[in-house]
Amino acid sequence: MPTLPINWILKNHISGAGAQSPVKLVITYAATQFDFKWKAPVGSTLTFNWGDGTTSDVSGNDATLVTTTSSYSGTGTYNFSITGDVLDLTWIDIEGQSFVSGTWTDWIFDNLTYLDVGDTGTDGDIEGYAALTSMTVLNVDSTTATGDAALLVGLTSLTSFSFNSTSVTWGANTTMSLTSATVNAASSGMSTSTQVDNFIDSFKASTGSTFNVAGTNAHRTAASNDDLNTLLANGNTITLNDVLGAELHTSLNAANDSATEAVTSFADYASTIDGATQVNSGADVLDMIPQGSEEVTNGDFASDLSGWTNPDAAWSWVGGEAVSDGTGSARLYQTALTNGLYYITTIDCTAYTSGTLDVRYKTLVGSALGQISATGTFTFAGRAEDVYFTLSTADSFIGTIDNVSVQELEVLGADLVTNGSFATDTDWNKGTGWTISGGTANCDGSQSGLTHLSQSMMTAGNDYIVKFTISNYSAGNILVQYGGSGDYSQYYTANGTYSFIGTSIGNAFLYFYGNADFIGSIDNVSVQKLTWGRQISDDSTNYSGFQFALPIDENSFAVPVDYVAESIVAQKFTGESNTTTGFTVANNALITSVTTPVNVGSFALNVESNSTPTADADCDIDFTVENTTVYRLSVDWRHIGTGDDWILQVEGVTAATRVVGNVTYVTKVYYYTTADTTTTVRFMESNIANDGGVVFDNLSLKKVTLS
């Protein structure tokens, strides 16, 4: 008897409702029907056995995606399977359906090129897919997948490869060269540094691809530096568990100040921030401001709504996101903030149906900081008015949110005043005429000269902002002084809420000085140290020198002093240095600071040897580093002129080359292990006939911690 083809034999065993199909799943139906998206050739027929006693016969349509959907009429658990021409499947996609379980271990069909079972409850062994060398997409995210992904070395046609399962490892040092692919292994099971090093080595010959091996994986080791440099030089990007230290070069990069843009306007902002004046900078202000650690717990809703208070039971957890059912004013909140500090919030709205989601740095009372009424990523900044970070569903918001983040904008210190609300008659020094009662400090006018209300909380030499309220005013005037010989405020002669910025000199006291005639009350006193500011050029009458700043939004900040508004369109922040400080030249090289062409900020550095072409003309800068430690160098650079090569050297090793015609900025990232306590970064020509040079910008050097 002749031997029959294996596919023929299998097909004849996958026919009929009772046949043993490799595609068997369990569907837990509550409200969402199950979608099975697939492709198969014309002439192929699949029989869908839904588990509720019904079946559907559906024909393939070649490259056209077919979506076959269940029609369950009641909640329950259903045993689903597919029979018929199952082995003809070329595409399977059940991604994102967390109510589906089962295994995909046996879905190894000869013609299968696309498999996406991510974010489902399924499981399987990834190793069996090593034979399917035509696969273009293999996504087993968020499943209990197992196996050694390094065994899939032959799948070089992949454009998307995702195996976020802690039971999937990368055990071998193989070669897997991909082109324009995305490989996401951020939550996989590479528990040893050797596996992460192997991963980097395996993919180093890829081009134009993106890799993520951070998350739950181990750190790499210094042994992978060269392989990592090769991977990056081939136009790939990678996310690692490397921890970068402080910036060692601060005069020519975005970390110092990326907002070297013209100031476009000044306007009063008294209604929002401390009687301040708004400054529109034309730059991303929030990215310039140092940010603190994450304040929100479980902002990615990884497994539930833990960490959040859901008092109205209107929010639910579905597949790693928080979903609102539309109940009016329903809250989702955390106790996460410090009253009076400034914060930045980002929120992803991944699905939107109707209504508005209000964002507050306080309870439900009062106006919202911002609102969400569409899909997208949203950013809000402002000052906390309470300890609560609150999301509330105004106008019956129906939608889904994820990746909620709240970080302090480090522009103010904590409130230094004790008993600023005068709840008790304690903590304050009272001169003649002052008493504390009824929740205020009161001056009755019985004094015969200057009389003070004071408290010690400052440090001489620091700058502070004081905020306070005057009430029950009837006569005289009062002013504020920082320290025994520090800055004075204006005279205040009316009820109102005021703020004043100044420098404390002499001693640690905050003084309120009432004159001999002053009658009135003081309340709600707070004092905070100012920690972030920007230099403003001296071409303005009222805005010159260093100004402390508070954020308003992504593109503007406020100077919290009641300056006179004026129209100035030519102001600039400084931060990047218009200087060559720190650089030395040799062999007739010349270095100059230029304003064009730049890649970041307002300045770049130009190095060349046009006047006296000389072999090995170079420009150096030295950094003090820790010996035998990994560092990361990054620089944007481009070639100029018609000469030959210029090279970038780090500790005497050539890291990169730019040749004539390379006139577009590229970013070079280079990892190395130091051999001494000094690192020399050098730009050098490699040909005596070179009449060109290079322009470089955004130079950065940071220590890398690999543990």
SS in 3 state form for 621-660? EEEECCCCCEEEEEEEEEEECCCCCEEEEECCEEEEEECC
Distance CA(573)–CA(3), nearest Å, equals: 81
Distance CA(169)–CA(193), nearest Å, equals: 12
**What is the rounded (10 degree) CA torsion for 165, 168, 174, 179?**
-20
**Of the candidates 33, 116, 98, 75, the residue with the CA atom closest to the CA atom of residue 323:** 98
**pLDDT for the residue 370:** 84
**pLDDT for the residue 486:** 76
Tokens representing residue 545 in the block: 């020198």
**Of the candidates 331, 334, 351, 352, the residue with the CA atom closest to the CA atom of residue 343:** 334
- Paired strand residues for 258: none
- 62, 39 Cβ separation under 8 angstroms: yes
Instruction: Answer yes or no: is pLDDT of 637 > 60.
Output: yes
**pLDDT for the residue 609:** 83
Q: 691 pLDDT band (50/70/90 cuts)?
A: low
Instruction: Answer yes or no: is pLDDT of 329 > 80.
Output: no
Distance CA(202)–CA(173), nearest Å, equals: 6
- 463, 486 Cβ separation under 8 angstroms: no
CA distances from 133 to 39, 41, 146, 156, 676 (A): 18, 19, 19, 7, 47
Task: Read off the pTM.
Answer: 0.57
CB atoms within 10 A of CB 67: 10
More confident residue, 8 or 342: 342
> What average pLDDT score do residues 573-586 get?
73
Which one-letter amino acid corresponds to residue 629? T
Distance CA(252)–CA(602), nearest Å, equals: 9
**pLDDT for the residue 246:** 85
The length of the chain, given as a count of residues: 707
Alpha-carbon 648 to chain mean position: 30
**Of the candidates 316, 311, 329, the residue with the CA atom closest to the CA atom of residue 394:** 329
Strand order in the sheet with 100-103: 55-59, 45-49, 76-84, 23-29, 100-103, 121-123
Distance CA(231)–CA(254), nearest Å, equals: 25
Where do the DSSP E strands lie in 284-387? 291-294, 315-318, 321-325, 331-335, 342-360, 370-372, 376-383
**pLDDT for the residue 20:** 58
Q: 100 pLDDT band (50/70/90 cuts)?
A: very high
Distance CA(318)–CA(375), nearest Å, equals: 17
- Cα torsion 487, 493, 495, 496: sign: negative
Distance CA(226)–CA(224), nearest Å, equals: 6
Distance CA(576)–CA(10), nearest Å, equals: 69
> What's the chain's average pLDDT?
85
Three-point CA angle 97, 102, 104, nearest 5°: 95
**pLDDT for the residue 547:** 59
Instruction: Answer yes or no: is pLDDT of 688 > 80.
Output: no
**pLDDT for the residue 349:** 95
For the chain, the farthest-separated pair of C-alpha atoms sits apart, in whole angstroms, at 124
Instruction: Answer yes or no: is pLDDT of 570 > 70.
Output: no
**pLDDT for the residue 48:** 97
Distance CA(396)–CA(401), nearest Å, equals: 15
- 39, 63 Cβ separation under 8 angstroms: yes
**DSSP H helical segments within 1-143, as ranges?**
6-11
Distance CA(161)–CA(151), nearest Å, equals: 13
What's the pLDDT tens digit per position in 482-500? 988 877 888 999 999 887 8
CA distances from 679 to 230, 579, 657 (A): 21, 21, 19
- 121, 100 Cβ separation under 8 angstroms: yes
Instruction: Answer yes or no: is pLDDT of 647 > 90.
Output: yes
Tell me which H or E stretch contains 199.
helix 193-203
**pLDDT for the residue 1:** 32
**Of the candidates 165, 170, 207, 224, the residue with the CA atom closest to the CA atom of residue 192:** 170
**pLDDT for the residue 189:** 92
Instruction: Answer yes or no: is pLDDT of 549 > 60.
Output: yes
Which one-letter amino acid corresponds to residue 485? S
Range name among 100-104, 122-126, 461-465, 681-685 with the lowest pLDDT average: 461-465
Distance CA(707)–CA(703), nearest Å, equals: 12
Distance CA(589)–CA(615), nearest Å, equals: 10
Which one-letter amino acid corresponds to residue 597? P
Range name among 43-52, 489-498, 555-564 with the lowest pLDDT average: 555-564
Q: 580 pLDDT band (50/70/90 cuts)?
A: confident
Provide the terminal-to-terminal Cα distance of the chain, rounded to the nearest Å: 64
Which one-letter amino acid corresponds to residue 519? I
**pLDDT for the residue 414:** 82
Indicate the DSSP class of residue 285. Answer: H
- Tell me the domains of the chain and their CATH numbers: 6-243 (3.80.10), 291-409 (2.60.120.260), 429-529 (2.60.120.260), 583-705 (2.60.120.260)
